[in-house]
Amino acid sequence: MEKITFEQVKEAVYHEKMANGLQVYLLPKQGFSKTYAVFTTNYGAIDNNFVPIGETEFTKVPDGIAHFLEHKMFEKEDGDVFFKFGEKGAFTNAFTSFTKTAYLFSSTSRVEENLETLIDFVQEPYFTEETVEKEKGIIGQEIRMYDDDPDFRAYFGVIENMYHNHPVKIDIAGTVESIAEINKDLLYLCYNTFYHPSNMVLFVVGNLEPEQMMNQIRANQAKKEFAEAAPIKRHFPEEPKTVAVKERKIHFPVQIAKNLVGIKEDIGSLEGQAALKQEIIGDVALEMLFGTTSDTYLKLYNEGIIDDTFGYDYTLQDSFSFVLVGGDAKDPDKQTAKIKEAIQAAAKSGLDEADLALVKRKRIGQFLRSLNSPEFIANQFSQYVMKSASLFDILPLMENVTLEEVNSFVKNLDQEERTTSFQLLPEQ
């Protein structure tokens, strides 16, 4: 077990890689009542074409299967895992993103037992045809709930516009039709390939004693047998650099239009520190361009073109990355035009040094504040481990961002053929 200390933020993390490849991180938090644990696999909605463990050929699986698998992990031969946690006063949940699936609990007592339950339920799959069929009704309702959610529809609408082939364009939960094809054998196939310990990270934060907890995890893992770890082969279709659709408008039962501009990046695949650095530069550049202290924000806000729903998002993953800017709009065409104009102007004349200093100061304070949240630390740290980077490197990297770097990020956004817009308009 190694101890990694982060002086600036007054935190320390204990780390060990288990013999089976599982990465474990423990972060004690003084004075906290609760312990929060998250067990993450590097497997999400986009991993739909891969070579199953022990095989040699690529297999394509139905859309929405990673999310379906997440739901089904909770059901065991002796009942629902929700009960097992409930009996010990713990709260449990799980989530599936484009690239990750994570299982979590938090509790203020009986942490050892709850941790055992978490590790065991994620490492012991139990699927039957009957329970798989029953889940289709529940997930069908989850899909319908999102179908009625305008923000969610706008988000996927603009991603569909950007991508020709990449599976990021598919809804994480799939469709009622695609999940109909899921059966227990397919679930086991995905499970065995992606839930190997060497593809997973366990992070525990809060009221804990590191030596004792690491012993518990070692003992738990030593009892179990797994196949030999092997690198996972994933296939992603060839994706053109340009957007698939330049502009799309659909009508929806909303009162106010939702508008999003999407810009597909062309930066290739980044790893480790380089990816983290790129993410920070992007965030700083976008905050300088569109944040609440920017001139653009003030101008557009005062003209009624944007309101406080206006914002941006930068998503950077191994096989895709994009920028989204937008919000509610009284005149969505005008909002889109103004967003593009702001990018063009900044790409031409460059951003301001004083603004950079201000935005960095703001972000440093915000980052430090977010370390009050055990959930934030555990979820973010786990994600960065899988990108071979460290959450606490954000601070020094942020301090070192240069004007040249943010300007070059903005220049790269000013590309008409990589830009799209999506609008959800009120029904006429």
Partner 1 sequence: MTDKIFQEKVGPVALTIVPTQKYKSNKIVFKFRAPLERETVTKRALLSILLETNSKKYPTQTDFRKQLANLYGANFYTTTAKKGNEHVLTVIFDMIDGQYVSDGNHILEDAFAFIEEALFHPNVANGAFNEETLAREKENLKSSLEGIYDDKIRFASKRLIEEMFRDDAFRFGSAGILEDIDAITAKDLYEYYLQFIAEDTVEIFICGDVTKEEVMPLIEKMAFAPRADRKGVFYTKEAPKEVRVIHEQQAINQGKLVLGYQTDTLFGDEDFVALQLANGLLGGFANSKIFINVREKASLAYYASSRIDSFKGYMVISAGIDEVNYEQALSIIEEQVVAMKQGDFTEDELNQTKEMLINQLLETNDQAQGLIELVYNNVLREANLDLENWIAKIKQATKEEVVAAINKIKPDTIYFLSKGGEELHGKNNI
Closest CB to partner 1 among residues 219, 368: 368
Annotate each residue in 296-325 with x if it binds partner 1 (CB under 8 A) or - if it does not, as one string.
-xx--xx-x--xx-----------------
Of 70, 75, 265, 287, which is the active-site residue?
70
Residue in 55, 112, 129, 148 binding partner 1, rule: CB under 8 A: 148
109 contributes a contact to partner 1 by CB under 8 A: yes
47 contributes a contact to partner 1 by CB under 8 A: no
Smallest distance, partner 1 to C-beta of residue 128, A: 15
112 contributes a contact to partner 1 by CB under 8 A: no
Do residues 384 and 41 touch, judged by C-beta distance below 8 A? no
Residue in 23, 42, 92, 101 binding partner 1, rule: CB under 8 A: 92
Q: Are strands 2-6 and 11-17 parallel, antiparallel or unpaired?
A: antiparallel
Residues 217-256 binding partner 1 (CB under 8 A) are 253-256
Candidate ranges 18-26, 31-39, 122-130, 311-319; the one touching partner 1 (CB under 8 A):
31-39
Closest CB to partner 1 among residues 36, 384: 36
Q: What are phi and psi of 142, to 5 degrees?
A: -65, -45
Residue in 107, 161, 193, 423 binding partner 1, rule: CB under 8 A: 107
Smallest distance, partner 1 to C-beta of residue 106, A: 6
Smallest distance, partner 1 to C-beta of residue 164, A: 27
371 contributes a contact to partner 1 by CB under 8 A: yes
CA pair distance 175, 157, nearest whole angstrom? 15
Closest CB to partner 1 among residues 236, 367: 367
Closest CB to partner 1 among residues 58, 83: 83
177 contributes a contact to partner 1 by CB under 8 A: no
Judge whether 2 counts as a catalytic residue. Answer: no
Quick count: other Cβ atoms within 10 Å of Cβ 384? 20
Closest CB to partner 1 among residues 85, 314: 85
91 contributes a contact to partner 1 by CB under 8 A: yes
Residue in 1, 19, 138, 180 binding partner 1, rule: CB under 8 A: 138
Smallest distance, partner 1 to C-beta of residue 349, A: 19
283 contributes a contact to partner 1 by CB under 8 A: no
Smallest distance, partner 1 to C-beta of residue 51, A: 33
Q: Which residues of this chain interact with partner 1, rule CB under 8 A?
A: 8-10, 29-34, 80, 82-83, 86-92, 106-109, 134-139, 141-142, 144-145, 147-150, 253-256, 292-295, 297-298, 301-302, 304, 307-308, 328, 330, 358-359, 361-366, 368-369, 371-372, 374, 427
Q: Which residues are catalytic?
A: 70
